[in-house]
Amino acid sequence: MEPFDLHIIGCGSANPTGRHRPACQVLSTRGKNFMIDCGEGSQTRFARMGLSMKRVGHIFISHAHADHCLGLPGLVCTMSLLGRTAQLHIHGPQELEPFMQTALATFCPNLEFQVTFHTVDTRQHQLIFEDRSLEVWSLPLRHRVPCCGYLFREKPGQRHIRRDMIDMYEIPVSQINNIKAGMDWTLPDGTLVPNERLTTPPTPIRSYAYCSDTAPQPSLPAIIEGVDLLFHEATFDQDNEFRARQTFHSTTLEAAQVARDARVGRLCIGHYSSRMDDEQKMLREAQSIFPNTVLAAEGLTLNI
Amino acid sequence: MEPFDLHIIGCGSANPTGRHRPACQVLSTRGKNFMIDCGEGSQTRFARMGLSMKRVGHIFISHAHADHCLGLPGLVCTMSLLGRTAQLHIHGPQELEPFMQTALATFCPNLEFQVTFHTVDTRQHQLIFEDRSLEVWSLPLRHRVPCCGYLFREKPGQRHIRRDMIDMYEIPVSQINNIKAGMDWTLPDGTLVPNERLTTPPTPIRSYAYCSDTAPQPSLPAIIEGVDLLFHEATFDQDNEFRARQTFHSTTLEAAQVARDARVGRLCIGHYSSRMDDEQKMLREAQSIFPNTVLAAEGLTLNI
């Protein structure tokens, strides 16, 4: 099966600490590295994790806060130094575009590749990108500035041919794609062979939802229902709920409630405030509501 | 004596490596941290070196290349998160100002302190800042974009009073400042006591010159003559002189020639290209011309 791996590049929040780096993740699948947020210094750790910059074709930015975007100009400059020619797509809220345009005009005026900015309407849950095998949807979040998460979902594949059955019923090659698509087969004597005898089910699709930064958002669980992995910010532990309210962030329990309500497979929490120094306590809090929770950490890879 | 310390935050060049960080230095003296260049991620290592962000009042940027400036927006955002109210001054070529304005408008629209940009004419050798004890001069350099170095020089202090002599000659307190300023003293019987008997010489002034990035610049040695410490970029070893010519950089030997011609006290080389993996060879090359040379390294502090 193709890998569908989430790499955590940084999982801190705005105020830098020695413990964590600002937000950045990479979802690797089918030879492509989809980057999600890009805080200052992300390119360094990205390279240190052995990830290929060439394979980054699309970057998805949740919102125009410094700790989620300031690594972008340096990343593009480095791509240029490495001789990139392939187009780069940046998806994000419109607030980000003037910054990126000025940064590139100042620091990379002679880029050999095109950087295309795609404005994401953070208030809408809509399809913002697709290729042959993957869809990316925006997830409206509630923060101090326009902000959205991103849902990455594989497209359903076709059913798998049972070679033995195809041979037994002498089905011609020309019909294979129809059979994969679900067609039944009629024998010369008129007997119908149902598709289920000729094929096995398609590979289950996998999905990942990234939700940072956000205050509790009632509409969220319904639109991420059943994802295999949810990253949900838990900037604060439960004792600091009042800070979460002040800053439009979530607590451990709130993140876990989303995971429970959305019946996700696994929850990863992160975006830790610099005030939080006991992450095990945060983990225990989240697990009290949603046991299958893990802590984000720089360098962590989660196979989905 | 007041410290006059150079801290190396980063001494790599544009193409990131695991070995070095992009350009950033801090000159610490009299409780002030003067920052020189600010590559991506500088704030993190700055904090790790135990330096105080509060004490950064002035930042001097040599040129608008990514590896010398991309840490600025994040630094200002962090200062804001830390509750700064004191004005911040950024000195640099005019190319940098639109980027900084857009970055601050995007990421810190409600700063509680003023950020003032001072355009430096990189073609002129002129005084661009002074306080009670220090002058900062621009040093025209030759690079692919407008670029200058910076010369930090203490102002000459006053002569030191010899308390024993003041007492012996019964010189009144009201005259002390005149004596410090160099005045002789006349005794009641008309005898002249020369100032040299009443005072000791002022503390020697100290100076530091930062020269990065530059191709050999014939006018440079004369204007940095006799500085105690010179940082001069040596992006390439001598085998890669042709690359230095292509990219408007200097080699080890060229950096050492500047140090020799300017009769500086000590030379520190850095801004290593990602192609250079034998820094000891670079050191030997520079020392063949200027023995008192050291290699820059992240975390290094040089007392001047």
DSSP A72: H
Alpha-carbon span A64 to B174, nearest angstrom: 61
ipTM of the complex: 0.90
| Average pLDDT value over all residues in chain B | 96
Yes or no, beta carbons of B98 and A107 under 8 Å apart: no
Q: Is A74 on the interface with B (CB under 8 A)?
A: yes
pLDDT for the residue numbered A113: 97
Q: Is B40 on the interface with A (CB under 8 A)?
A: yes
Chain centre distance of CA A115: 21
Write out pLDDT tens, residues B2-20.
899 999 999 999 888 889 9
Minimal CA–CA distance to B233: which of B188, B270, B184? B270
- CA distance to partner chain A, nearest, from residue B92 (Å): 13
Chain centre distance of CA B278: 26
Q: Is A98 on the interface with B (CB under 8 A)?
A: yes
Mean pLDDT of successive 10-residue segments in chain A (304 residues)? 94 88 97 97 92 96 97 96 96 97 95 97 97 97 97 94 92 92 92 93 94 96 98 97 97 98 98 95 98 97 96
Write out pLDDT tens, residues B132-190.
999 999 999 999 999 999 999 999 988 999 999 999 999 999 999 999 999 999 999 99
Nearest beta carbon to residue A14 from set B69, B81, B95: B81
User: Domain boundaries in chain B?
Assistant: 4-157+203-303, 160-200
Residue B110 burial by Cβ neighbours in a 10 Å radius (0-12, 13-18, 19+): exposed
Phi, psi of A185 (to 5 degrees): -130, 140
Q: What is the length of chain B? A: 304
Mean pLDDT of B96-124: 96
DSSP A213: S
Alpha-carbon span B25 to B38, nearest angstrom: 8
pLDDT for the residue numbered A234: 98
Nearest beta carbon to residue B44 from set A41, A64, A96: A41
The pTM (predicted TM-score) of the whole model is 0.92
B67 is catalytic: yes
User: Side chain identity at B169, as an amino acid letter?
Assistant: Y
Does domain A4-157+203-303 sit in CATH 1.10.10.10?
no
Nearest CA in chain B to A76: B66
Yes or no, beta carbons of A69 and B102 under 8 Å apart: no
Nearest beta carbon to residue B74 from set A40, A44, A106: A40
**Cβ neighbours of A43 in B, within 8 Å:** 16, 40
Alpha-carbon span A143 to A233, nearest angstrom: 12
B192 has a pLDDT exceeding 90: yes
- CA distance to partner chain B, nearest, from residue A196 (Å): 54
Query: Of A5, A37, A67, A239, which residue is the catalytic one?
Result: A67
Yes or no, beta carbons of A96 and B106 under 8 Å apart: yes
Nearest beta carbon to residue B14 from set A47, A69, A81: A81
CB B233 within 8 A of CB B269: yes
Q: Is B263 on the interface with A (CB under 8 A)?
A: no
Between the CA of residue B247 and those of A74, B241, B277, what are the distances in Å?
Answer: 19, 10, 19
pLDDT for the residue numbered B1: 79
pLDDT for the residue numbered B293: 98
